[in-house]
């Protein structure tokens, strides 16, 4: 049994992988460390053969995970790094290590999942948009602040009071709180639409749109195109890497 662990900027997702293991996605807020409730869950597990890790959450949480893994199981985690070409996917970046390992794994999973060009949108603390052709060539991507970061940056830089509100279904709002809430949702959805249309021209046919990340469901209703929600996309990519390496 292996543990597959996806450490994002805010959340840690994990599952067990191996013969006889059920693929169950678990999510915990990490806050730069390993939460006590997660530690309690891991203490009840049989010792894993390997811990395979995707980490964009920083060195503090990586160090905390390493300490926990050594204490519980006498093992050190294997941290994955982006490769220029793997699983049929070829990264557009000249320096692959500068391309987030979570984005790389998401593309590997998306390419295995669909035989057509696809736009992969990961909406978390940051929102990333990556364009992939059917042959596995990555065209590049864009990054924006995520929903909450976009709202916080606006509120911190203005005198607009913090008003909790659900985003409006319409592309405009009639009060300040809903305007801020809806603006963050529709900004991300509008960029997804623009990139989707450009990818359709580049690919010569309609691409697919894959959503992942903690806030993916928040932007989904605002999208103009049909989309597929894959909450464990990064972990699916990790599974591909592990199985191909074996």
Q: Which residues are catalytic?
A: 102
Establish whether 101 is an annotated binding residue. Answer: yes
13 is in an annotated binding site: yes
11 is in an annotated binding site: yes
For residue 126, the SS3 value is: strand
Whole-number Å distance between alpha carbons of 19 and 173: 52
Report whether 143 belongs to an annotated binding site: no
Go through 119-153 and write b for each residue having 16 or more CB atoms within 10 A of its CB, e for each that does not: bbbbbbbbbbbbbbbbebebbebeebbbbebbbee
Measured between alpha carbons, how far is 241 from 237 in angstroms, rounded to an integer?
6
176 labelled as ligand-binding? yes
Count Cβ atoms within 10 A of the Cβ of residue 158 and give its class: 0-12 exposed, 13-18 middle, 19 or more buried. exposed
| 9 labelled binding-site residue | yes
Whether 37 has a binding-site annotation, put simply, is no
Q: Is 227 known to sit in a ligand binding site?
A: no
Which residues, 6+ apart, have CB-to-CB distance to 4 below 8 Å? 14, 15, 16, 17, 52, 235, 238, 239, 242
The structure tokens listed for 132 are 């992939």
The verdict on whether residue 232 carries a ligand-binding annotation is no
55 forms bridges with which residues in the sheet? 7
Q: How many Cα atoms sit within 13 Å of 226 on the Cβ side?
A: 3
175 has binding-site annotation: no
Is 8 annotated to bind ligand? Answer: yes
Q: Count other C-beta atoms under 10 Å from residue 87's C-beta.
A: 19
Binding site for ATP, by residue number, is 6-13, 125
Binding site for K(+), by residue number, is 122
Binding site, by residue number, is 6-13, 93, 100-103, 122, 125, 176
């Amino acid at each position: 049994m292996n543990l597959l662990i996806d450490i994002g900027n805010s959340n840690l997702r994990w599952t067990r992988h191996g013969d006889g293991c059920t693929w169950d996605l678990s999510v915990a807020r990490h806050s730069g460390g390993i939460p006590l409730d997660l530690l309690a869950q891991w203490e009840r597990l049989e010792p894993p053969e390997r811990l395979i890790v995707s980490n964009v959450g920083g060195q503090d949480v990586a160090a905390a995970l390493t300490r926990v893994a050594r204490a519980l199981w006498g093992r050190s985690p294997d941290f994955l790094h982006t490769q220029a070409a793997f699983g049929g996917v070829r990264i557009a970046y000249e320096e692959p290590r500068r391309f987030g390992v979570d984005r790389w794994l998401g593309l590997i999973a998306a390419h295995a999942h669909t035989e057509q060009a696809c736009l992969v949108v990961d909406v978390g603390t940051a929102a990333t948009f990556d364009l992939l052709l059917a042959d596995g060539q990555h065209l590049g991507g864009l990054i924006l602040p995520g929903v909450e970061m976009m709202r916080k940056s606006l509120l911190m830089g203005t005198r607009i009071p913090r008003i909790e509100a659900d985003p409006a279904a319409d592309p405009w709002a009639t009060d300040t709180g809903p305007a801020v809430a809806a603006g963050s949702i529709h900004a991300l959805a509008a960029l997804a639409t623009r990139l989707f249309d450009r990818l359709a021209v580049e690919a010569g046919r309609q691409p697919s749109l894959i959503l992942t990340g903690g806030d993916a469901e928040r932007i989904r209703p605002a999208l103009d195109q049909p989309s597929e929600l894959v909450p464990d996309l990064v972990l699916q990519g990790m599974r591909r890497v592990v199985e191909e390496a074996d």
